[in-house]
Structure 1
């Protein structure tokens, strides 16, 4: 390859890398902490706080900038990690089958739909780089870097989201007495008719703001309308300033809703979410237009979460939390400091070793090593990579491997200098002879890194990605950048003696 062609490759490569790394630099060095906090607001929260369209557009642009940057993972900035267990027994029962009769394809399809619905719910929190992945056959790992409210996250994740509208059997409900209750639980099931279903009101709250089980109510077992007819839900306000959730139905649902309300004027219609009666308003007249309002003494956050759940729809599988971990922000900051210190110490020690042993060549190798780290971050930016501690470990390993290629080249050049008096010929011959060795040694590591990337998950995958791109960039800097610098030094006749390059 000619000298000028090598320069062209370097310029094009560095220009592309500069384009890639720009969002990361803008986010971490030119965006204030206040702006970063604002970027965590959801659209509903911005509207509720009275943000103008221009302000919302600015924050949405910040969100896009953040998504195009290399983000820090859960272990570096703190947050919440939840492992969910899917209930295939209940899922199979809904299909009148047994869990053992479900095929692997059916289970995978159900898990994919579960992850899709969970992502839709959680993404609207505004949390940066939500990590949702399948673990094994029936588990889902949810990681939310930067999240600070585990109770709210869990309530949104665990809510099945099954909304129904059921007519209240007022006569059967009126027949219920305190004698039918034992420690707040209804026990006299003989009073529940065959067509009915016993539920409880969850409209009251305790001193901590949690919804508590209230009075029992009997509703028709068959719902008058399913939540699948709902096409939109949003936070609204009542005539007395209370927070409500407004919903809109599709054409079929609108017709059904109008029919139900027309036939049952002066009856109570229970709004049921996950078998909990949120409210049971009285039907005063036929309701046309497919629009309605859910009331229930909501806080703004509760209304936002309910609207979010209703818009995304019911989860295809019931889930339960089997693991829960909250990583504090201070712990994440300590991890960042420790990782940065390790990376810096590795770079300094390796750089000193190279300069002591190889003089000017060691300086060039150290510069190439630093360029390597910057280029790795640049490559990871468009991939929307989330940097974790294993990822930092991959970067540190890449530092060692970056100089490893240069050591091979330098030693080969030293061998050539023993039989050639011309420095320029020795350097060019050393590079040509060393390339095959460098390529062979790195290709095996690339294959291993690729396998870990494809089949690994979580921390293993993060380590594999940084290692994979680190090796590729190492080849680029060794074959193109350092060689071009050597050729330029030789061409300008700045160096004539081998001793200036090596001890």
Structure 2
């Protein structure tokens, strides 16, 4: 078989392989939105499978979320710091997999940072909640109600004195205000025309209700209870007729009460073995939006890491919950815990926020349920399921950068990138074809094949196409044309020396090869350096440049 035949066979094989590799990308890119929705309805996994086999689009083209996290290594001991970031990456990857995001990018940056790219996912609030929370699940008992009442009474006194000092108010001012109010009322009863409102608003009168921003229904006696006057007991055991320290707090009062509870003088009153914890989210009680405030014991009775077979479920009333199973020592410990605390509430605490505090009705041995708050929806329950399956992060993390690219912006970028590529390619092909005629047309075909093979290689490798990647494709077109120009000009020089066309072509390719090879090798080295040392958009540019030149 001649050398020419081998070239034809090899080229044919490469074309067939390229068509096979590029087929899924071509099929996905030519589908309309309606076709994608129809396919997703018929077979939800088919569209995701097609997207995974096609060329992936970056955040700038597809839209999505870019998050940079910092792992707080300073909160760990030296022994735990060594692989903390790697463990955090694995846990975050497991959580992101639960979102169903196709081909997320999760990688380490520097010593303590993690980059998370979620292409095609734009629910920033949910993504931040899943990625950023430590998700340390703990089961804790509540303090008894009488002790909680004593603690709150002491806190009331301190907060009352704090607010008086802050506003520059004394008890004598309050007494004067009350006496003047009574005198004004007596005078009005005797027929004297006194403007009581003006009297109350004078310099000598102090409206303590305004001072503390209390409701108008709260009297002077209740002003001395700034905390408890805003709390409503909302955790009651009907079987034992006992109250427990779970209090409903109006949403508008949450920030104020939280501020008071964090005062240094208040913190010194709270026993070291208990802590106040807020509920995870607000709920509706008596047509009011409220948060729950619990007084729980600091001692951790059980850890979420012992839970197994975690699955989303619903109770007989349709409320969402998370089922779990226990085995081995974990089952024995949980059975002992629940058996010894029947009819007591067990707070389910995740990152120091109480998800719920259900009463223990019986000993739980092998299987149990995590009940969600009354306002929890399917998304909240699903989030709980995902983070419990993935486990807690080895250290707290903070989000230091978050960018959201909308789908509309991504489509606009694709259109502009495609248009610029087509314009550049058309101008180059026309120039080469017009200037070099038949040789130029052959070179144009070679350039088109080069682009086709580049896209096929990217599809086969599962590479990501970004806007800088499109720029790399355009640069590849220029490099390909430049190589052809070197060859054609060398052939012209050989023809001027009187050589035949065949000899000139052979000499032109042979003598131009060294210059082309040198330029391509230096370009490959540059692209490799950009890929290894760069990140994000720089890598996208390096990938297309590397394979385009190759």
Q: Please say if 1:427 is aligned against 2:500.
A: no
- Residue 416 of structure 1 and its aligned partner are, at CA, apart by 2.3
Query: SS of the residue aligned with 2:126?
Result: helix
Say how many residue pairs are matched. Answer: 441
When the two structures are superposed, what TM-score results if normalisation uses the length of structure 2? 0.75
User: What corresponds to 1:200 in structure 2?
Assistant: 278
Structure 1 window deviating more from structure 2 (460-469 vs 223-232): it is 223-232
Q: 1:246 to 1:38 in 2, by over 3 A?
A: farther
- Residue 175 of structure 1 and its aligned partner are, at CA, apart by 4.1
Alignment deviations for residues 365-392 of structure 1 (CA, whole Å, 9 cap, x no partner): 1121122112111101122222111101
Q: Please say if 1:256 is aligned against 2:230.
A: no
Q: 1:85 to 1:447 in 2, by over 3 A?
A: same
Structure 1 window deviating more from structure 2 (385-394 vs 128-137): it is 128-137
User: What corresponds to 1:335 in structure 2?
Assistant: 413
Which residue among 294, 299, 307 is the counterpart of 1:230?
307
2:283–2:373 CA contact under 8 A, matched in 1 = no
User: What corresponds to 2:125 in structure 1?
Assistant: 151
2:432–2:444 CA contact under 8 A, matched in 1 = yes
- Alpha-carbon distance in structure 1 between the residues aligned to 2:323 and 2:17: 48
User: What corresponds to 1:110 in structure 2?
Assistant: 84
User: What corresponds to 1:125 in structure 2?
Assistant: 99
Q: Please say if 1:184 is aligned against 2:257.
A: yes
1:307-386 counterparts in 2 under 5 A?
Answer: 307-386=385-464
Q: 1:383 to 1:317 in 2, by over 3 A?
A: farther
Alignment deviations for residues 349-368 of structure 1 (CA, whole Å, 9 cap, x no partner): 11111112110111111121
If you compute each CA radius of gyration, which structure gives the higher value, 1 or 2?
A: 2
- Residue 190 of structure 1 and its aligned partner are, at CA, apart by 5.5
- Residue 420 of structure 1 and its aligned partner are, at CA, apart by 4.6
- Residue 14 of structure 1 and its aligned partner are, at CA, apart by 1.5
User: What corresponds to 1:481 in structure 2?
Assistant: none
1:244–1:296 CA contact under 8 A, matched in 2 = no
Q: Please say if 1:71 is aligned against 2:56.
A: yes
1:390–1:463 CA contact under 8 A, matched in 2 = yes
Unaligned runs of 5+ in 1: 40-50, 473-503
- Residue 454 of structure 1 and its aligned partner are, at CA, apart by 1.6
Q: 1:145 to 1:470 in 2, by over 3 A?
A: same
Q: 1:26 to 1:142 in 2, by over 3 A?
A: same
Query: SS of the residue aligned with 1:381?
Result: helix
Alignment deviations for residues 136-191 of structure 1 (CA, whole Å, 9 cap, x no partner): 22222222222222111111122211001112222433545475465223364466
- Alpha-carbon distance in structure 1 between the residues aligned to 2:361 and 2:269: 28
2:372–2:381 CA contact under 8 A, matched in 1 = no
Q: 1:203 to 1:423 in 2, by over 3 A?
A: closer
2:64–2:120 CA contact under 8 A, matched in 1 = yes
1:246-325 counterparts in 2 under 5 A?
Answer: 246-297=323-374, 298-325=376-403
Query: SS of the residue aligned with 2:461?
Result: coil
1:202–1:212 CA contact under 8 A, matched in 2 = no
Alignment deviations for residues 264-301 of structure 1 (CA, whole Å, 9 cap, x no partner): 22221111111111111111111121332322121011
- Residue 123 of structure 1 and its aligned partner are, at CA, apart by 2.4
- Alpha-carbon distance in structure 1 between the residues aligned to 2:460 and 2:512: 32
Query: SS of the residue aligned with 1:222?
Result: coil
1:23–1:69 CA contact under 8 A, matched in 2 = yes
When the two structures are superposed, what TM-score results if normalisation uses the length of structure 1? 0.82
Query: SS of the residue aligned with 2:359?
Result: coil
How much is the aligned-residue C-alpha RMSD, in angstroms? Answer: 2.5
Query: SS of the residue aligned with 1:271?
Result: strand
Structure 1 window deviating more from structure 2 (447-456 vs 413-422): it is 413-422
Which residue among 173, 177, 185 is the counterpart of 2:148?
173
- Alpha-carbon distance in structure 2 between the residues aligned to 1:135 and 1:190: 41
- Alpha-carbon distance in structure 1 between the residues aligned to 2:511 and 2:439: 17
Q: 1:159 to 1:385 in 2, by over 3 A?
A: same
Q: 1:196 to 1:425 in 2, by over 3 A?
A: same
Query: SS of the residue aligned with 2:372?
Result: strand
2:326–2:365 CA contact under 8 A, matched in 1 = no
1:21-100 counterparts in 2 under 5 A?
Answer: 21-30=22-31, 32-33=33-34, 35=36, 58-90=43-75, 92=76, 95=77
